[in-house]
Structure 1
Amino acid sequence: MTYHKPSFKGTAMKGDWLWLSGVLLLLHGVGSCPEQCLCHAPTKAVDCSRQGLKGIPSEMPPGTQILHLQHNQIGDIPTSAFIRTPFLRTLDLSNNALFTLAPGAFVGLAHLRVLNLTQNFLHSLESQVFQSLPQLQELDLSLNNIEELPKFKGETLSHLSRLIIQRNQLQQVPRAHLASLPSLRTLFFKDNLWKCTCHLLDLKLWLESFVYKGGITDGVICSAPNIWKGKDLLKIPYELYNPCHPLLGKEEANQTQPSGTAQQDPPLPGQPQEQVVKSPSNCEFKPKARPVNLRHAITTVVITGVVCGIVCLMMLVAAVYGCTYAAIMAKGHREPSSHTNEPRRPEEEKGPQDPSLA
């Protein structure tokens, strides 16, 4: 029986090939870091901040989890711009020149948790922008020019717990847009152009429930009307919204109604239909408590003061008249008594002469 010595030549060559392939892949991963960025392999972070970038870098380490793109000149984010970084968890795009976001700008970021879009030039956001971010927990949209908040879908943003929309151009936010976020715990939207009219009543009611359940908010500070400028919406008495009660429960009807059309109420008998047309945008409640009572109080004080002044003047006149009359009467009583006390004349003392003596 012949014994053959095992040959390790093929095994060694195969091992060398695997080692070489691993080295090449490692070199390829290191070389994929953009030239203007700093890549930190242990933390899987890529820092491209303050580099004057005008677009998203095309090459990026595939295992990147943290990406810093703040303080650049990025003007737009095209569709699937981050398709090469599927494991991204934190994305910072603050202090750029973003005007719009494509509906599919964040496609592929299924693991993203923190998105910072602070201090850009965003005017509006489409509702589909955040649909591809199911794990998003924090969204910062502060310091933009956003006039209307998109309707978030709870099934997509079910983990969103922190929303920041401070210093924008918001005047109102429909209650349904926020109620669709089941995990929301922190909501900051100070320094907006809040118009505290009837259309903000639903937001007031939702905020009261949100705070009662332990939510954190910095409050809605009114910018209009002037009577409530600088006031916190939560501190405005609920009774002042009594004129707005007919609008409650009509949100669904307003959503189905075409935009730009006026809301109509059923006409009263004998009243022309065009006289009952109401414009939701011009709906403003009329406060009836504090301002009206203040005017009534001032009017009452003025009238009371005038009446008291007249009464006091009449009393003074009466007192002067009484004193004068008393003085005249006293003088009149003194004059007759002075005549009776005068000495009698001799003729009067002698009396009448007796005719018999004559």
Structure 2
Amino acid sequence: MLFMSAGHWWRNRFSMPWQEACLLGCWFSLCAAESFFACPSSCKCNNSSLEVDCSGLGLSSIPSDIPTNTRTFLFLNNKLSTLPGPVFSNLSALQRLDLSNNFLDQLPQNIFNDLGNLTELQLRNNSIRTLDKDLLQRTALLRLLDLSINGLAQIPSGIFDDLPALHSLSLRSNRLQSLDRVTFEPLVSLQQLQVGDNPWECDCNLRDFKHWMEWFSYRGGKIDQLACTLPKELRGKDMRMVPMEMFNYCSQLEDENSSIVLDNPGPPCTKGSPTPSKTKSGPEPEVEPSVVCPQKQRYRPVSVRRAIGTVIIAGVVCGIVCIMMVVAAAYGCIYASLMAKYHRELKKRQPLMSDTEGEHEEQKQISSVA
């Protein structure tokens, strides 16, 4: 009995420190977790989804104490006007970034270079006027990009070259007048494009993009109305509904421009040409920067839908013409046969008509003698 009580005493003596150690470890782990995802002051955070929401607080700068493992950062409806270069350098795990409804007027070239996992970028309703062509070169996983309600007057060529996964793009309510199809050809996964509410000029500069829009719609993409502003004859009309015959003069302008270039040739192109050997020693002359070889244009396929429509219309017209020719030939044959039959009947009736005329003359002579 004494032995059992002694064992019980030793068990209680060693179990109490063990329980205290477990509680202390749990407390330390909770503190470490809270410090690992410490929410910035005045912002709302969700530890389960790793979301930081600093929207509608009137902030003019992004907090510097955003947790490094943040996946969603919302900064809507604030007074943000500038973005320092390294502001997102520690947020490599970020997947969603929303900076809508702020006062941003320009974006630094390397502002998104550290966001390799970014899939959604919202820049709606700002004052962005220009975009650098290398702005999105490190965001290959981007699937949604919203640049609507800004002051963009043009989209630089090459800005979408590194976005093969982009699924949705919005350029609504900007100051765009024309677009180049070469800029949008790398977007092989694009399914939805919004370009409405822009002052589009439906001239030769938009002709090639019209071809791309038709091809994009043919492969199942969705695009809203691209309503023309100029010229006045096409105001309010969707560019896709404008017939291609209205752009025939563009080819004439291109021919005239090419003839002007041939009439006034510039210095010869020296790119890739072997340099002649020099006998005299001396400093090499510098090549003028204006002497640049013209870049070869990329192949631009014709609209498949327009080609199929042309073939169908041509087939229908040829069929109608053939049917009309067959009907005309049948009508001519029937008419010829009827006329031949009529002439035969007429020849048969001529002798009978001559006999009746002789009998009438004899009767007249007898009546006169009587």
- TM over 0.5, shorter chain: yes
Match of residue 119 from structure 1? 125
Match of residue 280 from structure 2? none
The CA distance in 2 between the partners of 1:21 and 1:129, in whole Å, is: 42
1:234 corresponds, among 232, 235, 240, to 240
The CA distance in 2 between the partners of 1:95 and 1:272, in whole Å, is: 51
Q: Which amino acid aligns with 1:208?
A: E
The structural deviation recorded for 1:19 is: 4.9
Partner secondary structure for residue 183 of structure 2:
helix
Q: Which amino acid aligns with 2:232?
A: N
1:265 corresponds, among 242, 258, 263, to 258
Match of residue 45 from structure 2? 39
Match of residue 146 from structure 2? 140
1:181 corresponds, among 152, 174, 187, to 187
Match of residue 259 from structure 1? none
Match of residue 80 from structure 1? 86
The structural deviation recorded for 1:152 is: 4.0
Q: Which amino acid aligns with 1:201?
A: R
The CA distance in 1 between the partners of 2:22 and 2:211, in whole Å, is: 69
Quick check: 1:153–1:180 contact (8 Å CA) kept in 2?
no
2:35 corresponds, among 28, 32, 38, to 28
Q: Which amino acid aligns with 2:194?
A: F
The structural deviation recorded for 1:145 is: 0.5
Deviating above 3 A after TM superposition, structure 1's stretches of 4 or more consecutive aligned residues are 7-21, 152-155
Distance 1:91 1:268, change over 3 A: closer
Partner secondary structure for residue 236 of structure 2:
coil
Q: CA RMSD in A?
A: 3.0
Any residues of structure 2 matched to 1:325-340 within 5 Å, and which?
A: none
Distance 1:182 1:13, change over 3 A: same
Structure with greater helix percent: 2
Quick check: 1:136–1:157 contact (8 Å CA) kept in 2?
yes
Any residues of structure 2 matched to 1:1-358 within 5 Å, and which?
A: 19=26, 21-30=28-37, 32-152=38-158, 156-246=162-252, 264-267=257-260
Partner secondary structure for residue 67 of structure 1:
strand
Q: Which amino acid aligns with 2:258?
A: D
Quick check: 1:38–1:46 contact (8 Å CA) kept in 2?
yes
The CA distance in 2 between the partners of 1:268 and 1:247, in whole Å, is: 12
The structural deviation recorded for 1:123 is: 0.4
* TM-score normalised by L of structure 2: 0.62
* TM-score normalised by L of structure 1: 0.64
Q: Which amino acid aligns with 1:102?
A: P
Q: Which amino acid aligns with 2:31?
A: L
The structural deviation recorded for 1:65 is: 1.3
Match of residue 345 from structure 1? none
Q: Which runs of 5+ in 1 are unaligned?
A: 1-6, 251-262, 274-358
- Identity, in percent, stands at 31
The structural deviation recorded for 1:84 is: 2.5
The structural deviation recorded for 1:63 is: 2.2
Quick check: 2:136–2:160 contact (8 Å CA) kept in 1?
no
Q: Which runs of 5+ in 2 are unaligned?
A: 1-13, 266-370
Partner secondary structure for residue 191 of structure 1:
coil
